[in-house]
Amino acid sequence: MSQTPDPTPKPLDHLAECGEGDAPALVLRGETLTYEDLRSRVAALASWLQAQVPEEGERIATWAAKGALTCLMPLACARAGLVHVPINPLLKRAQVAHILADSGALLLLGTAARLKSLEQGDVPAGCTPMDEKAVWEAVEAHEGALKPSDADPDALAAILYTSGSTGRPKGVMLSHANMWLGAVSVAHYLGMESDDVTLGVLPLSFDYGQNQLLSTWYTGGSVVPLDYLFPNDVVKACAKHNITTLAAVPPLWVQLTEIEWPSEAVASMRRMTNSGGALTEDLVRDLRAIFPQTRLFPMYGLTEAFRSTYLDPSLVDTHPTSMGTAIPFAEILVIDDNGEVAQAGEEGELVHCGPLVAQGYWQDAERTAERFKSAPDGSHYGGTAVWSGDRVKRNADGLLYFVGRRDAMIKSAGNRISPQEIEDAAIATGLVAEAVALGVKDARLGHAVHLVVRAAPEADDPQGKLLPRLVKELPNFMLPQKVHWRETLPLNPNGKLDRTAIAREIGA
């Protein structure tokens, strides 16, 4: 792979053309698709889709577990001139009904059991549900094949619904170029090759999960999709398929470090990537102990611009809390409260500029205007930028460090407190495995700090020792007024800690 990635985007469906014909592209439970199979199946599925929905730009939704349909639809919809709307299979009927109504999808392709769970009124008029078995039967009977498309790379290719912290899910509009260049960027900074095998454990409705497919196919490698029930299922799959690339979010990494890894599950692992939350120093050490020869890539991203930064693995041990620097095709600026580029060490808002910036929120001009604004003066790319709302600092060494979300900051007794700083301190004690700090309204303080935690396995008297340890590590104004102990903490459909549900539970 060249040192400088090609900045010229192509139609997304051209990813099917990247691998050698007889090389494995997709390893499913019952079959393995070579790249030749991938090309023929995408061509056939795209032809059938176009026959069902001839008008370009119409939306097609999928709601199914990982399989041939959900993996091929991003390319097939792109080839047919349609817009893919992947729905997380963990969502329930009410959320699905909202996404169908909001996107205006004309087809809903899913597993029969999920479709049966929908009630009258959930599927809007004009939207046809169809189970995936019937889809493949219809595709085979159709006997058509579409050639690779010549679509405009700036054309809309997908709408990914992101839950956010408040309100109903909003649809982020992604172009062919957004997704193509995201695949190129990740493949390059990870150093992926055609003999790589990626284990796809993350939801395909999640940009991080979908990119596992796209970046691997860009390099001609193979993907093993996995819907796991238990963390040990991940370990077994790594051993069985000689996995070289594993991506996860912090809650899953925590679970994976708490179980045994046989040598055959570790030997082939070349790289591990993390996003969806910061890795703690303890978690980095635990991963290092299990995977001493594996390159670890901490990353930061947001659906509105896919991915913004990564930390070079060579810097992880010396700068474990850093977000790193901009990925290829991203320009990351830190803008202070006066709208100027912040000085080294000065806190500001992370602003992402460049061709990875999405096209806004589907049919939501108001929320688009809040987040997608003109790039700051001095931007190399100019145009529209994503103003993330995340507070960061860039040190003199050029590395970025996360401070907290502006809308998640706890304001207590006149102090602005980063929840992450409290959470990191709690986890660093070794007494808790997961922690969420929240502000609960308080007549005296404005907000009182509450900490919701899950004890670390085999920790000695964590409930008795946690607060005394935090007293030693945190200033008084950061100390939690109350600690809530839980056996488990809820996760959202993307596998992240569900801060909204946790806040609702404790009345924050």
Q: pLDDT tens-digit profile of 151-160?
A: 999 999 999 9
At 298-319, the pLDDT tens digits run: 999 989 999 999 999 999 999 9
The mean per-residue pLDDT over the stretch 324-353 comes to 96
Mean pLDDT of 184-192: 98
**50-95 pLDDT per residue, tens:** 999 999 999 999 999 999 999 999 999 999 999 999 999 988 888 8
pLDDT over 80 at 1, yes or no: no
Could you tell me the sign of the dihedral formed by the alpha carbons of 36, 41, 42, 48, in that order? positive
- Which residue from 1, 85, 5 is spatially nearest to 330, judged by alpha carbons? 5
For residue 157, the model assigns a pLDDT of 98
Average pLDDT over residues 25-29: 97
- pLDDT(2) > 60: no
Q: What per-residue string of b and e applies to 476-488 under the rule 16 or more CB within 10 Å gives b?
A: eebbbeebeeeee
Percent of the chain beyond pLDDT 90? 83
CA 114/CA 74 separation, integer angstroms: 20
The CA-based diameter of the chain, rounded to the nearest angstrom, is: 71
Among the residue ranges 115-124, 234-243, 399-408, the one predicted with the least confidence is 399-408
pLDDT value at 117 more than 70 = yes
**445-462 pLDDT, tens digit each:** 888 999 999 999 989 999
pLDDT at 94: 82
The mean pLDDT of 139-146, rounded to a whole number, is: 97
Q: Quickly list H helices, 128-175.
A: 132-142
User: What is the set of domains in the chain, with CATH numbers?
Assistant: 35-151 (3.40.50.980), 309-405 (2.30.38.10), 409-506 (3.30.300.30)
**Six-digit token pair at 261?**
């890894």
